Every structure is written in C-alpha cells, then in structure tokens.
Structure 1
Amino acid sequence: MYHTWMRYFTPSPAHHRLGLVCLGVGLQHGALPAVGPRVLDHHVAVVISAGRGWFRGADGRRRTVTAPALLWLTPGVTHHYAPDPDTGWDEAFVDFTGPATAAYADLGYLDADGPVVALTDTATARTAIGRIARAARQGNPFLEVETAAAVHELLVALRRVRADTGADGHPVLQALARDAFQPLSVIEHAARHGMTPAELRTAVRRGAGCSPKDYLLGIRLGRAKELLVGTELPVAAIARRVGYDDPAYFSRLFARRVGTAPVHFREQQCRSVPGGFTDRIPDPSRPPTIPPSAPADDGRRGGG
C-alpha cells in the first residue's frame, strides 16, 4: 500500500532564462513500486526522509539506501531504485533543469559520481519542497518563478545537510575563512593544516567548488568592500587589513575581479556610515529600525 501526490509543469522559454526551472514535484510514502530501469533528460532530487531501500546506477552496482538520504538522478544516466517492500519509505522528489545546473555541478552541489548521498536530516530540504508544492495550486500566476527560486533553495539546503560535511562546510574551509586576512600563501595555509598544496586544493574544490586562491580572494574582497564603504581608511590600509602588503597588487586584483578600482567602488557606493559596520548579524525577527523621533516641545504642554 502506498500514497502519492504529484504535479508537473511546463515552463516557457522565458522562464528557462532564470537558469533553473522546476519541471515537477511529488510527495510519496509507503511500499512504492520500483522505478526503472530508465533514463531521463533532466535532473531529479529524490529526498528519502524515512525507511530504506536500494538503488542501482549505470555501473550496475546495487547500493543500500537508508534514510535520511538523497538520490541524484542525472540526465542521460540509467537508474533503477525501490524501497524495501517490508518497510517502504517516505520520499519527496523534484524534477528540474536549466543552464545553471552546469555551474551547480562545478561547485559540487550536484554530484553525478555519487548518486546516493547520506544526509544528516531532511527538514530544510522538505521545507523547500513544500514551497514548490504550495506554489503548485491551480491558477498561480507566479508558479514558474516561485518554483524556480525554491529549486535554488533546495540545492543549497541539500548541500548543507550532506553527512560528509558540517552545516558550515568542510572544517578546512572554516579554518581558511578564519585565517583569510593573514598574509599567507596557499602553500603556507596548506602547511598549517598538515596538508600538501594539492590536498588543500582537492579539499577546497570539493567543499567550495573553487581553488583555495579564489576562495580566499572572495572573502578578502568582500571585507575590503565593507571597509571601503563603511570607513574612510585609505586603500593601502584596507589592503593590509585584508591580507595584502602591496596596495598596488591589491588594487589590480580588486579591479580585475570587481570590474572597477577600489577608489571608484567607494565613489559609486556614495554611502556615509558614521557608526561604521558591525560584524554582528541582526536577528531576523528584530531587524534594525529607525527609532521614532521624540515629540517636539512647542511650549503648549500644560503643567500639572
């Protein structure tokens, strides 16, 4: 016995320009029938929240699936899977496609080589899938855009709950972020972690989808932008604060990555922040607000 609900969508060419589009969503549980063997022309994320079963990919190897887990179904690749008939499982699936899938694959969010992924939990992924299910109501004029946004959210949620990394990514990434503003080379960063440069590159590529140099550069330039906008520090002082002893080299890097020189970036923003920036993240339930002005005393208030 099993229960199933699903909807399928046909986004227009204009919606495909969003980068990702949702083609369908489904919620199922119980002793579902086997799927495949089959080949699809798009991606599917199958999130298993409870139960167990098996999966067989193009290599013919049968893998055990134990919740919480994720099945990646990749375009052009044969797949065949089913829950255990004695226990069944609880699954939610999302079909999606679009040119942005290539970038997500390069960044490590989609893994064709690892079709069965152990997860730590499925709550955040199910929340994103729930947004798609709610958007699927008849006559919703925002259907394609809402569901496309939720697919992006789903891919991030699934990346965060992979069992082989923490919620904040690989520990090496956390350490690199902590030390990002120190004037250290990639070789020196690797030595700090007892790794060769090649091992560090592999770890960062797997965790962040880029090289250690690009990972550090992104963090440094983000902080440099904050200092350019929120302070009156000279560019040379900002360069030193974010890890560059040579201000001219920093300015060239900034211009190459941002598209404009640091001084021009500061001029474009045209913001005055007398109190300066803070690293403290606001509580979303209590965002910063402008306090109400005190009533002016026009001399007409009565005495007691």
Structure 2
Amino acid sequence: MTEPADLEHDLATQVLIELYSEIPPPSKLVTGHFHSGGDYRVLRPDGVGSWYLLYTAGGTGHFQIGGDKLTLRHGDLVLVSPGTEHDYGTVGTYWETWWAHFQPRREWHAWWSLPQAMPGLSYVRLTRPSETDRLVSAFARLHRDAQLAGLSPTGDTELHLLEKNLAVQLTMNGIEEVLLVATSSLRRDTRHLDPRVQLVLDAVTSDPARPYTLTSLAGLAQVSVSRLAHLFKEQVGDSIMNVVVGLRLQRASELLGATDMSVVQIARAVGFESPHYFSRQFGQRFGLPPTKYREKVRSPELEQY
C-alpha cells in the first residue's frame, strides 16, 4: 500500500486526473490508477453510459448518491451501473484507487451479483489478504494491457489492430477476474442468488433474443410478476428488461464487429423488432450509431481518450 507521503501529484498525474474526471464515451474501455489528494472530487449528476468499477487500495474516499453516502477504505470494491449519479472523492488527505469504465461481456450477467449498498451501486468489502492482493495484481495487469491497447494517454499507440484487439481482450479478462474474486468472496460468506432469479438469469443469458416478457419470465420462475421484479432488482442490481436489452446490445456489438450482416438483420437477430428502436438503444449504450460503431471497431486507427 502506498504511503501518504508519496502521493503529491506531479503535473502529468494532475492532467490525467482532470482528463479522467470528464465523462468517458459509453463504448470506451478506460482504466486508471490514481493517488488522489484531499482536494480530489468527481461529480457527474447523470452518471455515465458504462459500468464503473472502483477499488480502494489505500487511504479513504467516499461515494455519494443523493442523501446516501458510503465511506470507502482499503479492500472496498464498488460497481456502479450506467446512468447512476457519480459524486465521489477523497476523505482526508489521500485516496489510492484502481478503476475501470467498461461494457460487460454478456455472459457475466449470469453470475455477477454484488449486493446493493445504494440504488445503482453495488458494494463488497474484501478482508482476506489473498483476495486484496489478487485484486491489486489483477488491476495492475489489466491496466498495463489497457495502456498497450491505447486506452490511456500514456499508452502505446503503435500497435497493429490484431495486437490491440488482443490487449483489449486481456483487459476484459482482468476485469472479469476482479468481479469473479469479489463474487467468490461473497458466496463463501452469504447465500447464492435466489434460485428463481438464477433461473431467469440463466434463461435470458443463454438466449437473449427470445421475445421475453415479464409475464413469461414470472411463469418460468413460478412467482408473480411483482415478486420476480422485486427479487431480481434486489439481487442483480438492475431490472430484468434492462438486463435483457443490455445482453442484446452486447451481442449486436459483437455481430457488428465480426460479420457483414446489415443493421436490420442484426437488430432482428438479437431480438429487436424495430431497427429504429434498436439503433436508438445502441447509440445510447455505446455512444455511436451501429454503422459508425462498426467503422470504429474495424478501423486500424487507435482512438485516444
């Protein structure tokens, strides 16, 4: 753990903090490691379009949503859903954090389930040295891979497209490791997801393109619609249909990058009846319309955030 005496910002570090305090594009995978002083604060009233993973490696910080405030210390990991207000900063004199903005792989929804501390914010405290050490190691590796992929102003911008794609996938592997460690830690100390919630998650994850309704999923779980909606939101941290839409959009992004299917074909393949609605939802999630997104992921030019 870094000592407070080592945490005075040089000019380059301060520039990076100011840059990353801006709102990242929803489709952008961005990672960072900050040693923040007592004046550090980020305020994004409307949140961001991506998921935000934040780990406290030293010092003290806080995350506030409305009137609720969560103090963050060594071993605390938070996962903030898209569109959730961001108001966080240092408590005291310093705060060391590792973090990532990302869009999850679609299969993650079947197993990640951190308990909610506030609406839109899930939280777990890791106390075992084996877990906290592993998280720091995973964050360090994924951040290096992100730099290689050009996802940091200090990253390498000379990689070929194939090398960049490999580095991006390795970064996502690191984020997955962090989430798996946190989920595994919780399951040693608490119960698993309610089996009815797990049943619904398994169904929508395995085939997100099916024409699901709350009524059909409640029938699958053999509970009322209201009961399923409450259980799912409580344990997963998002509504059922938001998860379904997210899974469909993630699959669409994969098809845009890997196939020559038209936007209309992809929309229907992933479960959207209206291509216009699909394009609007895709733009809100990824920050670009589908055609522009395809051009970006297939371009050998590296985008700097």
Shorter-chain TM-score category? 0.3 to 0.5
Identify the structure with bigger relative contact order (alpha carbons < 8 Å, sequence gap 6+).
2
More helix by share: 2
Which protein is bigger by CA-based radius of gyration?
1
TM-score with structure 1 length normalisation? Answer: 0.45
